Amino acid sequence: MTTTNAQSFWQHSVPVELAEHDWCFTHVRDRIDLEAWQAFTRDIPRDPYVERRWKRMSWLALDEQGHMKSLGECPMAQGGQYNDAESMADKLRWYPALEQDFLDRPDVRAFVEAWAALWGLDANEPILMQITGVKGSGELDPLQGQGIHADGCRYLSIMVLDRDNVSGAESVLYADRAGQQQLADQVMVPGDVLHLRDDRLFHGAKALRQEDPNQPYERFIIIINSSFVDGFQNRMLRRYFPEAVIHEHIA
């Protein structure tokens, strides 16, 4: 995908809003086969670190021609200043990779390449892409202890992939970690995307509830982020991907 085509992937207002506000809501329902993507939530394994959660993740990057490539394995590493949850903070977390059939899809590759172009990423800058979600019954904190937080990067996008028998779980955006300056509070439906500058803003999600108490619920999202400011994560990236471009001044 060329840079021009990648930029046209997003609505014209997206780069303008990001430049003005550091965040925006958009959607990709007319750019991807959402139903085909949703099928890949069926075989996601349980998260071994967090109860009632399922997850796969892969480290990706652009090659010199601007095409998506896989980098291989590296753990997720979030320092305590970026994650308040005891089950996740200051731990190396390993997850199974995204399925190759998913990564080989032309619309997945186009999404990743367009996302990298939106933020101006160069070749060999690590990109973390996750499919993660919750299933079950009753009320649940979809963030499971993280609260209002940042993910420890510059560029972050969250896309709702699947949402079944769910009410609540509003995505909330703040200018401060204390939550005194709320910028947005919105229910995101499948295909919706929230882009944000994670090093300038904070985000969270409200409690999730099942609409029909006699049926289970599930909610899956895609998280994609890059240009890490978390020194813990950057140390792991340097160790596992010695050829990758890591921004030393933000490590």
> Using one digit for the tens of pLDDT, what is the confidence trace for 75-91?
999 876 655 555 556 68
Q: Is the pLDDT of residue 17 over 60?
A: yes
Strand ranges across the sheet with 68-72: 23-27, 192-197, 153-164, 217-228, 127-136, 53-62, 68-72
Copy the structure tokens of residue 150.
Answer: 């940042």
Q: Minimal CA–CA distance to 236: which of 47, 78, 43?
A: 78
Poorest-pLDDT segment among 102-106, 156-160, 208-212, 220-224: 208-212
> Using one digit for the tens of pLDDT, what is the confidence trace for 94-144?
999 999 999 999 999 999 999 999 999 999 999 999 999 998 877 665 555
Q: Is the pLDDT of residue 51 over 90?
A: no
Would you call 37 helix, strand, or coil by DSSP? helix
Determine the Cα–Cα distance for residues 57 and 98; give it in Å rounded to an integer. Answer: 5
Question: What is the mean pLDDT of the segment spanning 66-78?
Answer: 95
| % of the chain beyond a pLDDT of 90 | 73
Determine the Cα–Cα distance for residues 35 and 243; give it in Å rounded to an integer. Answer: 36
> Using one digit for the tens of pLDDT, what is the confidence trace for 144-192?
555 788 899 999 999 999 999 998 889 999 999 888 999 999 999 999 9
pLDDT computed for residue 147 by the predictor? 76
Question: What is the mean pLDDT of the segment spanning 5-12?
Answer: 81
Copy the structure tokens of residue 106.
Answer: 């032309």
pLDDT computed for residue 242 by the predictor? 96
Would you call 230 helix, strand, or coil by DSSP? coil
8 A C-beta contact, residue 210 and residue 217: yes
Count Cβ atoms below 10 Å from residue 97 Cβ, excluding itself: 15
Q: Which residue has the higher pLDDT, 142 or 34?
A: 34
Determine the Cα–Cα distance for residues 125 and 92; give it in Å rounded to an integer. Answer: 20
Determine the Cα–Cα distance for residues 151 and 216; give it in Å rounded to an integer. Answer: 29
Determine the Cα–Cα distance for residues 116 and 226; give it in Å rounded to an integer. Answer: 9
Q: Is 88 left (phi over 0), alpha (psi -120 to 50) or beta?
A: alpha
pLDDT computed for residue 249 by the predictor? 53
